[in-house]
Amino acid sequence: MVSSMSVFMDRPTGRVLVTGALGQIGTELVEELRQKYGYEAVIATDIRKAEGCQILDVMDKKAINTLVVEQEITEIYHLAALLSATGERNPELCWNINVVGLENVIAAAKENNARLFSPSSIAVFGPDCPKIAPQKTPLNPTTVYGKTKVVGEQLALTSGIDMRGIRYPGLISYKAPAGGGTTDYAVEIFHNALENGHYECFVREDTKLPMMYMDDAIRATIELMDVPFDKLSESRGGYNIAGCSFTARELVTSIQRHLPDFTCSFHPDIRQKYADSWPDEIEDTVASDEWGWSPRFDLDRIVDEMITNLKKK
Ligand code: NAD
Ligand code: AKB
């Protein structure tokens, strides 16, 4: 029997579970984890069906528990959630999936002494946060989505298990579509630029938000999960990590380096309100000091990678 203290000291050695594995992050994280641990050691699950991924609804507490215990899961990446735009349209569902779903996963992690990664978001910050968000600041989000992420961070410190998280910025990737978030414009714009030469952006051109290329986000996630528990402080529920920050106009200008005829018009919708409630930039010295976080992709490099890879697709 593993003692409760050793849960926090030892590197887990069993199988790895990923929930919400078919989403924007899961698609790439599962690939990376299977490279690291071997195909069979990583169990990808989602509420949707796909090859190499089994069905698991995070609202089904019993099913999660059975899977975690029977498959001897010792590391969980819990990615199943609703994002901000979908969440604000369905606040009750957002609360249930993001908070009750997380509680179900925590219960299963506790049962098998598993280490748990549960993502937070820049959505934990509210309008009272400084434009450059510090690690420690009052968290007063205006969105239900943001509130669910604050609860997630608190649970990391109170649940009695080894649980960690990152306040991901808006993530930019080409392998899977962005799913129902406010920062989706920074992904959609590339597809529209290449397919139509034009994009109608749903935020103002001066909207500046923290963003990150998916490679950086996946590396950060795996690096954080590899750190011994005793090296992490109370920030472990949600570390600030910065990638790069840019306005929607700056993104257009960078894309025009590759596609000079590309045009973009700006028609803000309800998502502008969520974007306006989030900070412009992220201050990430705590993550750098505690586990060596450092980003590799700036705006132009992200754009170069996105255009090159989408053209190959
Ligand atoms: P996504 O929407 O692309 O994927 C979520 C996945 O969860 C989907 O495949 C969906 O089918 C699945 N899902 C939904 N309900 C489920 C349920 N009841 N049971 C099991 N699976 C279910 O989201 P993502 O972008 O991959 O985000 C993953 C996590 O990272 C979320 O917690 C999100 O809040 C966080 N995050 C993402 C970003 C980003 O820019 N992508 C930024 C900050 C935080
Ligand atoms: C969203 O826009 O909802 C996500 C996030 C920043 O959490 N990309």
Whether 111 and 67 share a structural domain = yes
Q: Confidence band (pLDDT; 50, 70, 90) for 2?
A: very low
Count of alpha carbons within 13 angstroms of residue 142, beta-carbon side: 15
| Active site residue ranges | 145
Instruction: Give the pLDDT mean for 90-99.
Output: 98
Whether 60 and 157 share a structural domain = yes
Give the helix ranges, DSSP H, for the chain.
4-9, 24-37, 61-70, 84-89, 91-95, 101-111, 144-158, 185-195, 214-226, 248-256, 271-276, 285-291, 299-312
Q: What is the pLDDT of residue 12?
A: 58
Could you tell me if residue 290 is inside a domain?
no
Residue 9: pLDDT above 90? no
Whether 140 and 267 share a structural domain = no
Whether 162 and 277 share a structural domain = no
Alpha carbons 249 and 254: distance in angstroms, whole number: 9
Whether 193 and 258 share a structural domain = yes
The residue segments making up the domain with residue 251 are 172-211+243-282+297-312
Whether 96 and 43 share a structural domain = yes
Instruction: Give the pLDDT mean for 85-110.
Output: 98
Pocket lined around ligand 2, Cβ cut-off 6 Å: 83-84, 121-123, 170, 181-183
Whether 90 and 114 share a structural domain = yes
Q: What is the pLDDT of residue 89?
A: 97
Residue 81: pLDDT above 50? yes
Q: Confidence band (pLDDT; 50, 70, 90) for 313?
A: confident
Please choose from 145, 211, 214, 272 the residue to mutate so as to test ligand 2's pocket, defined by most ligand atoms within 8 A of CB. Answer: 145
Instruction: Give the pLDDT mean for 263-290.
Output: 98
Whether 63 and 142 share a structural domain = yes
Could you tell me if residue 145 is inside a domain?
yes
Could you tell me if residue 2 is inside a domain?
no
Could you tell me if residue 6 is inside a domain?
no
Q: What is the pLDDT of residue 11?
A: 55
Does residue 46's CB lie within 6 angstroms of at least one atom of ligand 1? yes
3-state SS assignment for residue 58? coil
Residue 6: pLDDT above 70? no
Q: Confidence band (pLDDT; 50, 70, 90) for 13?
A: confident
Q: What is the pLDDT of residue 3?
A: 36
Whether 34 and 44 share a structural domain = yes
Residue 10: pLDDT above 80? no
What confidence tens digit (pLDDT) does each residue in 296-305 have?
Answer: 999 999 999 9
- Percentage with pLDDT > 90 across the chain: 95
Residue 113: pLDDT above 70? yes
Q: What is the pLDDT of residue 35?
A: 96
**Atom number in ligand 1 closest to CA 97:** 18
Could you tell me if residue 134 is inside a domain?
yes
Could you tell me if residue 259 is inside a domain?
yes
Does residue 216's CB lie within 6 angstroms of at least one atom of ligand 1? no
Q: What is the pLDDT of residue 4?
A: 40
Alpha carbons 131 and 129: distance in angstroms, whole number: 6
Task: Kindly give, in sequence order, each residue whose CB lies less than 8 Å from that of residue 224, ignoring residues fewer than 6 positions away.
Answer: 117, 164, 166, 239, 287, 291
CA 278 / ligand 2 centre spacing (Å): 10
Could you tell me if residue 287 is inside a domain?
no
Find the CATH number of the domain harbouring 307.
3.90.25
Whether 222 and 268 share a structural domain = no
Find the CATH number of the domain harbouring 97.
3.40.50.720
Total structural domains within the chain: 2
CA 133 / ligand 2 centre spacing (Å): 16
The per-residue pLDDT of the chain, averaged, comes to: 95
Q: Confidence band (pLDDT; 50, 70, 90) for 208?
A: very high
Could you tell me if residue 69 is inside a domain?
yes
Whether 303 and 180 share a structural domain = yes
Whether 46 and 142 share a structural domain = yes
Residue 1: pLDDT above 70? no
